Each structure stands twice: as structure tokens, then as C-alpha cells.
Chains A and B, each alone.
Chain A
Amino acid sequence: DAGVTQSPTHLIKTRGQQVTLRCSPISGHKSVSWYQQVLGQGPQFIFQYYEKEERGRGNFPDRFSARQFPNYSSELNVNALLLGDSALYLCASSLTVVMVYGYTFGSGTRLTVV
């Protein structure tokens, strides 16, 4: 079975540009979460979506937005990129909105802003 798939794997953007990152959850998983991991730190929660509705939002500016599609895949959008947005962006899926069963993470998208 395929795990959590993220695309692209690497991306280089210029300050001020916009970027869209994509995530396909494990088949049957209805919850998708997004995390940002800056070098040397643990991942930080950005969003969680369940059944196409936002269920949680971390402490990130409005430049960050996301959505979940009917097939449970998800996109993370970041507008007006800053150098500080350079990070590994991780997507995690789970069977339900309750996390007791554990999240499965993808390998992430490495975003570099120059």
C-alpha cells in the first residue's frame, strides 16, 4: 500500500512568490494535517482537515492556507513567501480526527525561498 505521498519533493521559490504543496493521504484516511519543520527544530502544526473541514489551525499567518478535496487529498498554499518560510513541509494522515491511532507522515516537501 502506498504511504502518504507529497509533491513536489523539493522546490525553490523567490521571495514574494506563491507556492502550492500537495498531499495524498493513505487510502481510507480522512484526516490530513500539515506541519512545518525548520532546520534543527521539531515540526510545528499548521493545519488539520477532516472531511474537508478545517479542524485546527496553528500559530501561522494568514499567508498560509489549505484545503481538502473530496478524495481527501490536500493542498497547502503559502502566499508572499518570506525567507523564513524555508523549511520542510510535512503532511500527515490519520484514519479519523482523533489521533489516538497515530499519524502517518510523508517524507515532506523541502521548500527553499531565495
Chain B
Amino acid sequence: DAKTTQPNSMESNEEEPVHLPCNHSTISGTDYIHWYRQLPSQGPEYVIHGLTSNVNNRMASLAIAEDRKSSTLILHRATLRDAAVYYCILQSNFGNEKLTFGTGTRLTIIP
């Protein structure tokens, strides 16, 4: 499985944008980039995914570098409820159904 690298932790002030980086220099052309987050005492929650183009949904935006070797999850206006561990995961669309989680980025929101 292609590997991702994320900072162990980040802090952000409430109501400000948050940019969570992920490096994936060994990504293949068929790998999708997925982001999940895990709030305390809960299972992981799907956030967003993309292949080549930037993506937006109600939760976040995903900015993918032109060479696809890195991506950034953008929370436009952080709230205290966004405090969680965020995982960046690569997943091939060719029958490899498992998610390979790293240790993720622990995001702390400062009131």
C-alpha cells in the first residue's frame, strides 16, 4: 500500500480555517485520496475523497496538488466539534477494499 505522511498534531483557533497536509509521494495513478476523522470515543467518520481534481462537500474541501504527491484537507471554519484525529488514506479502486490507516493528525481547536 502506498504510504502517507501527516504531522502528528496541529492546533487551530476556533472559527478560523484549518489546513491539514498530507504527503503521498508514492501515489499511483489509480489511487484515490480519502480523508477520515475520528472523534473521541467514536469510530472513524468519512470526510471526503478525490482522485485528481479539488473536491468540496458540506464538511470540508480537498485540495490535490497537480502532481498528486500531496493533498490538503481544508476545514473552512473550525469549531470545537472538529477536534479529532484526521487520517489521510490512499486506496486503489482495483479491488483493494481495505483502508490502511496511519497514525493521523490530532487536531486541537483552541476556543
Query: Hey, which bits of chain A sit against chain B, CB under 8 A?
Result: 4, 31, 33, 35, 40-45, 48, 50, 55-56, 58, 90, 92, 97-100, 102-108
Contacts and interface: CB of A to CB of B under 8 A. Distances in A.
A107 B44 CA distance: 8
Nearest to B85: A42
Interface of B: 32, 34, 41-46, 49, 85, 87, 91, 93, 95-104
Contact of A56 (B32, B41, B98, B104): B98
Contacts of B102: 42
Contacts of B42: 105, 107-108
Give chain B's interface secondary structure class. Answer: loop
Contacts of A33: 97-99
Given A92-B43, A102-B34, A105-B43, A43 B93 contact: no
B6 to A, nearest CB: 10
B62 to A, nearest CB: 13
A31 B103 contact: no
A43 B98 contact: no
A31 B46 contact: no
A45 to B, nearest CB: 4
Contacts of B49: 100, 102
Nearest to A88: B43
B95 to A, nearest CB: 8
Nearest to A42: B101
B99 A103 contact: yes
A43 B91 CA distance: 15
Given A42-B87, A42-B103, A48 B98 contact: yes
B43 A108 contact: yes
A97 B101 CA distance: 18
